[in-house]
Amino acid sequence: MLALRTLGKTCRRSAATLWRRTAAQSAGQRMDIRGIYPPIATPFTEKEEVDYQKLHDNLQKYAKMPFRGLVVQGSNGEYPYLTAEERVEVVRRVREALPREKLVMAGSGCESTMATVQMTEQMVQAGADAVLVVTPCYYRGRMDSKALIHHYTQVADSSPVPVVLYSVPANTGLDLPVDAVVALSQHPNIVGLKDSGGDITRIALIIHKTSSEDFQVLAGSAGFLLAAYSVGAVGGVCALANILGPQVCQLEELCLSGQWEAAKALQYRLIEPNTAVTRKFGVAALKQAMEWFGYHGGVCRAPLQPLSESEVKMLRQDFSSNGWL
């Protein structure tokens, strides 16, 4: 009986998702993804098992914040270290815990096109409203525009939900080429790009060259959120929002309302903490800072290691010197 109820829920979720996509496409519209998304961390127990109770506790807090939604199984979720089953289960738990109006954008990228198509379908069945697809990179020397356009086209053709491209060169060693982004922006089921590279001239050029396609660009970091908004980005997927969620949302509001001086003052105070929990110290720092601010961060899954004592002190300094601790 329980299995039948679960199957029924899955079928209803899949039907609802397909209906939303069909309705939007028939109206000539793409999903609106504007807003702020924290790419949530995956809590683990001391034995490095996914701690679903602590995940639920974090979600209850995030649900009360003015986020557009959550990114689940992005880089900060340690997705490369999770099994396929864990990746899907985390998405399912997030969808069940969040209010319906909050979007769940699930990371479904894998190295092969076939695996990405299959993972995307599983994410949709788990309740994802959209999927975030990172560039395949193991054979990065052969991942030219032709290969990447083919990959993303195949994924978008088969996906029941909208696809968001994901370029994160710090982790993949590969920038999704501008010409590939422009070509892919014409696909009706590819709604936007999360660009984590931080090159504002590149972001501006992409926005300019895709302006006729209703294509949406999300900044991939709080460190350049103001700059991205100034050239036409519509939101951000920001690791720092896991910790300073209200402040990142406030920066969004200041930018959207044209209060640039106040936005600039706030942006300055976010740069060092943001750098600390991203390229400086990474996921271990994000999880450490989450603990200071009342969230469950906890340990990383090996081979990621905890911060050293000196690194923790530097991390605290990056937050305290900007008035956050």
Residues classed as catalytic: 194
**171 burial via Cβ count (<10 Å: 0-12, 13-18, 19+):** middle
Question: What CA–CA distance (Å, rounded) separates 97 from 76?
Answer: 19
Residues 154, 159: Cα–Cα separation, whole Å: 9
Positive or negative, the Cα torsion across 196, 174, 109, 117?
positive
- Element at 72 (helix H, strand E): strand 69-72
- Rounded to 5 degrees, φ, ψ at 322 are -105, 10
Spatial separation of the C-alpha atoms in residues 322 and 12, rounded to whole Å? 47
Phi/psi at 237 (5° precision):
-105, 105
Residue 21 CA to residue 189 CA, distance in Å, equals: 9
Rounded-to-integer distance, Cα 82 and Cα 174, Å: 22
In angstroms, the CA 288 to CA 298 distance is: 7
Contact 300, 283 (CB under 8 A): yes
